[in-house]
Structure 1
Amino acid sequence: MKTVRSLLHGEIIRAVSFVLVGFLALFLFFDLVDELQNLSRLASQGYQLHHALLYVALKTPSHIYELLPISVLIGCIFVMARLAQSSEFTILRTGGLAPLKALSTLLQLGLVFVAMTFLMGDYAAPWADRQGVLIKARFQGNLTVGQTGAWLKERQGQRHFAVNVRSFDGIRQMQNIRIHEFNEAGQLLAITRAPQAEVGDGVWLLQQAEEKSIQTPDASQTLQYRSVQHLSMPWPTGISADMVAAAVLSPDRMRTWELFNYMRHLSTNNQNAQRYEIEFWRKVFYPLSCLVMLVMALPFAYLHFRSGQIAGYVFGGVLAGISFSLLNNLFSFAGNLQNWQPWLTAAAPALIYSAISLLGFWWMVLRR
Structure 2
Amino acid sequence: MKTVRSLLHGEIIRAVAFVTFGFLALFLFFDLVDELQNLARLASQGYKLQHALLYVALKSPTHLYELLPISVLIGCIFVMARLAQSSEFTILRTGGLEPLKALGTLLQLGVFFVLVTFLMGDYAAPWADRQGVLIKAQFQGNLTVGQTGAWLKERQASRHFAVNVRSFDGISHMQNVRIHEFNEAGQLLAITTAPKAQIGQDAWELQQAEQKSIVPIDGQKTLQFRSVTYATLVWPTEISGDMVAAAVLSPDHMGTWELFKYVRHLSSNNQNAQRYEIEFWRKVFYPLSCLVMLVMALPFAYLHFRSGQIAGHVFAGVLAGISFSLLNNVFSFAGVLQNWQPWLTAAAPALIYSAISLLGFWWMVLRQ
Task: Report the CA distance between 1:215 and its aligned residue.
Answer: 1.0
Deviation per residue, 1:249-302 (Å, 9 max, x gap):
101010100000000000000000000000000000000000000000000000
Task: Report the CA distance between 1:231 and its aligned residue.
Answer: 1.3
Matched with 1:329 is 329
Q: Residue type of the partner of 2:340?
A: W
Q: Residue type of the partner of 1:59?
A: K
Match of 2:189, SS? strand
Matched with 1:140 is 140
Residues in 2 aligned to 1:303 and 1:13: alpha-carbon distance in whole angstroms = 22
Preserved CA contact (<8 Å) 1:39 1:48: yes
Residues in 1 aligned to 2:57 and 2:268: alpha-carbon distance in whole angstroms = 38
Residues in 1 aligned to 2:140 and 2:246: alpha-carbon distance in whole angstroms = 20
Matched with 1:198 is 198
Q: Residue type of the partner of 2:5?
A: R
Matched with 2:339 is 339
Residues in 2 aligned to 1:240 and 1:16: alpha-carbon distance in whole angstroms = 37
Task: Report the CA distance between 1:325 and its aligned residue.
Answer: 0.3
Match of 2:287, SS? coil
Match of 1:184, SS? coil
Residues in 2 aligned to 1:220 and 1:263: alpha-carbon distance in whole angstroms = 38
Task: Report the CA distance between 1:7 and its aligned residue.
Answer: 0.5
Matched with 2:253 is 253
The answer for unaligned runs of 5 or more in structure 2 is: none
Task: Report the CA distance between 1:351 and its aligned residue.
Answer: 0.2
Residues in 1 aligned to 2:305 and 2:343: alpha-carbon distance in whole angstroms = 41
Preserved CA contact (<8 Å) 1:172 1:241: yes
Preserved CA contact (<8 Å) 1:65 1:117: yes
Match of 1:178, SS? strand
Residues in 1 aligned to 2:307 and 2:172: alpha-carbon distance in whole angstroms = 60
Instruction: Give the percent of matched residue pairs that are identical in Structure 1 and Structure 2.
Output: 85
Residues in 1 aligned to 2:305 and 2:317: alpha-carbon distance in whole angstroms = 18
User: TM-score with structure 1 length normalisation?
Assistant: 0.99
Residues in 2 aligned to 1:203 and 1:84: alpha-carbon distance in whole angstroms = 61
Preserved CA contact (<8 Å) 1:87 1:306: no
Distance 1:109 1:220, change over 3 A: closer
Matched with 2:130 is 130
Deviation per residue, 1:171-195 (Å, 9 max, x gap):
0110111100000000000011111
Match of 1:40, SS? helix
Deviation per residue, 1:212-271 (Å, 9 max, x gap):
000112315101000111111111111011100001110101010000000000000000
Task: Report the CA distance between 1:59 and its aligned residue.
Answer: 0.5
Preserved CA contact (<8 Å) 1:194 1:208: yes
Matched with 1:169 is 169
Q: Does residue 65 of structure 1 match 2:50?
A: no
Matched with 1:74 is 74
Q: Does residue 273 of structure 1 match 2:266?
A: no
Residues in 1 aligned to 2:324 and 2:270: alpha-carbon distance in whole angstroms = 34
Matched with 1:45 is 45
Match of 2:222, SS? coil
Residues in 2 aligned to 1:6 and 1:153: alpha-carbon distance in whole angstroms = 54
Residues in 2 aligned to 1:357 and 1:217: alpha-carbon distance in whole angstroms = 72
Residues in 2 aligned to 1:95 and 1:220: alpha-carbon distance in whole angstroms = 89
Matched with 2:366 is 366
Question: Which portions of structure 1, spanning 4 or more consecutive aligned residues, are displaced by more than 3 angstroms?
Answer: none
Task: Report the CA distance between 1:305 and its aligned residue.
Answer: 2.6
Match of 2:138, SS? helix
Preserved CA contact (<8 Å) 2:126 2:254: yes
Alignment of 1:218-229 (within 5 A): 218-229=218-229
Matched with 1:263 is 263
Matched with 1:320 is 320
Matched with 1:27 is 27
Preserved CA contact (<8 Å) 1:86 1:306: no
Residues in 2 aligned to 1:107 and 1:121: alpha-carbon distance in whole angstroms = 20
Preserved CA contact (<8 Å) 1:165 1:176: yes
Preserved CA contact (<8 Å) 2:81 2:305: no
Matched with 2:230 is 230
Deviation per residue, 1:138-186 (Å, 9 max, x gap):
1110000000111100011000000000110000110111100000000
Matched with 1:54 is 54
Match of 1:142, SS? coil
Residues in 1 aligned to 2:121 and 2:359: alpha-carbon distance in whole angstroms = 30
Residues in 1 aligned to 2:364 and 2:60: alpha-carbon distance in whole angstroms = 37
Residues in 2 aligned to 1:357 and 1:267: alpha-carbon distance in whole angstroms = 37
Distance 1:306 1:257, change over 3 A: same
Matched with 1:348 is 348
Q: Cα RMSD over matched residues?
A: 0.7
Distance 1:6 1:240, change over 3 A: same
Residues in 2 aligned to 1:169 and 1:296: alpha-carbon distance in whole angstroms = 43
The answer for unaligned runs of 5 or more in structure 1 is: none
